[in-house]
């Protein structure tokens, strides 16, 4: 922990020195240019050491250590590339432009490659398809916003510099893409393997490093030899060093967060506001060469955010439907549960007209033995098969419900005694066929009690009568069904089969 603090304090001192020197040279260029480039190299070395130190922490999980080690390679590449840029500025102070050298392109490319490699290597929990779509829409929105800002304030100015300017513009555009990728990864990864504060610091650091050159066109004319990156790069490296320190501290403290990512992110909405602000800026400064581009991007980000909201509303609707379904249906079989069955039966009894409502209460024979000998998993699969067969054997509009265990109820509206008999016989026919569950062929049997509603009877009383008839059916051999009659009572005397 002491080493991590040392790296952060040293990086802070370096960025403070860079900021002071930069501010002084804005007023009077008295600080040598080379001296103002040294903080970039020094802070880059400190960052690389801090990342390696965090990657070697034994308190971190393997994916976390790999993440920080890959970032250290990227930091080393970025430091090398920026040092070559500073060297070129020092050697050729009178040459205007961004001083993008081939070695700088190599170093920056290496940095971007390993940053992306590190981010992609972070495991993320599996999400719903709607989450993935919203993530892509969010990323597209933020990327468009960052891209148009880079173009308006930075890239279009660099294109005037010929080949070097073109390379610099491409390099900065790629860096902006990496920044967007890093920010969006913060949203999706949560803090499963990497501390959330550390991820936020990393994303902020990358953004600082990306956006710092945006002010360069305003410095080039009045302050030759003064580059915004002289303080922007050390600031970026300092924030990244703080991120490494945060991860080391969180790991050494034994913190292991695993919260899922939040479904809401303010970033795409902030991107829309920023682009709309840029659109207003362009309107007040009419005649700018990229007015049309800003308008197009403003429309596109608005469309993307609207699409994101639509997908969120659709997903929320599906979630509400699933919640409603789970509250009224059995989670194992998908049939109506006791609550929905009672509600539907009560409604039918209240609406009953000429033909009566009948219910069939079914209990499987031998189900307890299946559970005891073959396990509850086999019993559950048997119940699913029974539920499917029952649903296929009843009439359209009949309600099949599972009360619990191996008890099922079928509600038949407008059912005469003959109609109920016909439905129940079909149920017995499909249930007498054995069920194949894995390697086991399981014979089926059922005892069914039938009760028809009379005047003034409620749902609870009708179920009680069907229960009496069902227990009477159990006293008959094989699969059987019995209609409730007045002579059947709780003593369950041996009845005459229906």
Residue scoring higher pLDDT (56 or 196): 56
| Tokens of residue 323, six digits | 């919640």
What average pLDDT does range 199-226 have in this prediction? Answer: 69
51 is written with which tokens? 């990342």
Closest to 79 measured CA to CA, from 119, 52, 56, 106: 106
| Cα–Cα dist 293/152, whole Å | 9
The answer on pLDDT for 332 being more than 80 is yes
Please state, in angstroms and rounded to a whole number, the distance separating the CA atoms of residues 249 and 2: 10
- If DSSP states are collapsed to H, E and C, what string results for 205-261? HHHHHHHHHHHHHHHHCCCCCCCCHHHHHHHHHHHHHHHHHHHHHHHHCCCCCCCCC
Q: 497 falls in which pLDDT band (50, 70, 90)? A: very low
pLDDT (mean) for 52-68: 87
- Say what the pLDDT of residue 255 is: 44
Strands of the sheet containing 358-364, edge to edge, are 399-404, 407-412, 358-364, 446-452, 480-483
Distance, CA of 5 to chain centre:
34
Residues 6+ apart with CB under 8 A from 175: 108, 112, 209, 210
Rounded Cα gap, residues 399 and 340, in angstroms? 10
**Which of 159-173, 287-301, 361-375 comes out lowest in average pLDDT?**
159-173
pLDDT band at 280 (very low <50, low <70, confident <90, very high): low
Mean pLDDT of the chain: 75
pLDDT in tens, 67-93: 889 888 888 888 888 777 777 766 766
Q: Could you tell me how far CA 162 lies from the centroid of its own chain?
A: 44
What average pLDDT score do residues 372-377 get? 85
The span from the CA of 318 to the CA of 459, in Å, is: 32
Among candidate residues 375, 410, 405, the one with its CA nearest the CA of residue 389? 410
pLDDT mean over 334-340? 86
390-437: per-residue pLDDT in tens? 988 888 888 899 888 889 999 988 888 888 889 999 998 888 888 888
The pLDDT value recorded for residue 305 is: 73
Res 444: pLDDT: 83
Question: Ramachandran region of residue 397, left (φ > 0), alpha (ψ -120 to 50) or beta?
Answer: left
Rounded Cα gap, residues 234 and 227, in angstroms: 12
pLDDT value at 8 more than 60: yes
DSSP bridge pairs for 451: 359
Least confident of 227-236, 294-303, 456-465: 294-303
């Amino acid at each position: 922990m002491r080493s991590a603090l040392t790296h952060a304090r040293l990086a802070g001192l370096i960025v403070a020195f860079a900021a002071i020197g930069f501010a002084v040279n804005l007023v009077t260029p008295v600080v040598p240019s080379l001296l103002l480039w040294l903080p970039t190299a020094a802070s880059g070395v400190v960052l690389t050491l801090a990342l390696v130190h965090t990657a070697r922490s034994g308190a971190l999980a393997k994916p976390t250590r790999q993440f920080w080690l890959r970032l250290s390679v990227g930091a080393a590449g970025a430091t090398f590339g920026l040092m070559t840029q500073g060297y070129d500025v020092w050697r050729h102070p009178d040459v205007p432009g961004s001083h993008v050298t081939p070695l700088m392109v190599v170093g920056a490319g290496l940095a971007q490659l390993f940053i992306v490699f590190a981010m992609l290597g972070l495991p993320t929990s599996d999400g719903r398809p709607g989450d993935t779509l919203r993530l892509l829409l969010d990323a597209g929105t933020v990327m468009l916003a960052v891209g148009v800002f880079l173009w308006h304030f930075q890239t279009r100015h660099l294109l005037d510099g010929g080949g070097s300017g073109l390379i610099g513009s491409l390099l900065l555009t790629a860096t902006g893409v990496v920044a967007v990728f890093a920010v969006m990864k913060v949203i999706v990864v949560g803090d499963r393997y990497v501390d959330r504060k550390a991820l936020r610091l990393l994303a902020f650091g990358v953004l600082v490093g990306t956006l710092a050159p945006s002010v360069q066109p305003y410095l080039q004319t009045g302050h030759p030899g003064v580059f915004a990156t002289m303080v922007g790069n050390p600031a970026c490296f300092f924030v990244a060093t703080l991120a490494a320190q945060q991860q080391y501290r969180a790991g050494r403290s034994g913190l292991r967060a695993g919260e899922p990512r939040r479904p809401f992110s303010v970033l795409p909405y902030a991107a829309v506001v920023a682009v709309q602000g840029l659109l207003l800026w362009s309107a007040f400064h009419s005649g700018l060469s990229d007015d049309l581009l800003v308008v197009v991007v403003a429309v596109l980000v608005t469309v993307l955010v609207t699409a994101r909201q639509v997908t969120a509303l659709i997903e929320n609707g599906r979630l509400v439907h699933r919640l409603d379904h789970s509250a009224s249906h059995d989670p194992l079989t998908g049939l109506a549960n006791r609550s929905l069955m009672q509600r539907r039966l009560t409604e039918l009894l209240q609406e009953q007209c000429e033909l009566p409502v009948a219910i069939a209460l079914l209990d499987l024979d031998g189900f307890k033995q299946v559970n005891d000998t073959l396990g509850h998993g086999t019993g559950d699969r048997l119940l699913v098969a029974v539920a499917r067969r029952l649903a296929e054997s009843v009439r359209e509009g009949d309600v099949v419900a599972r009360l619990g265990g191996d008890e099922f109820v079928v509600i038949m509206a407008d059912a005469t005694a003959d109609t109920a008999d016909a439905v129940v016989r079909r149920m017995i026919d499909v249930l007498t066929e054995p069920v194949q569950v894995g390697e086991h062929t399981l014979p089926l049997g059922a005892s069914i009690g039938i009760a028809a509603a009379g005047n003034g009877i409620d749902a609870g009383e009708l179920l009680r009568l069907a229960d009496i008839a069902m227990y009477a059916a159990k006293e008959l051999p094989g699969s059987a069904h019995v209609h409730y009659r007045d002579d059947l009572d709780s003593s369950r005397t041996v009845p005459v089969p229906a």
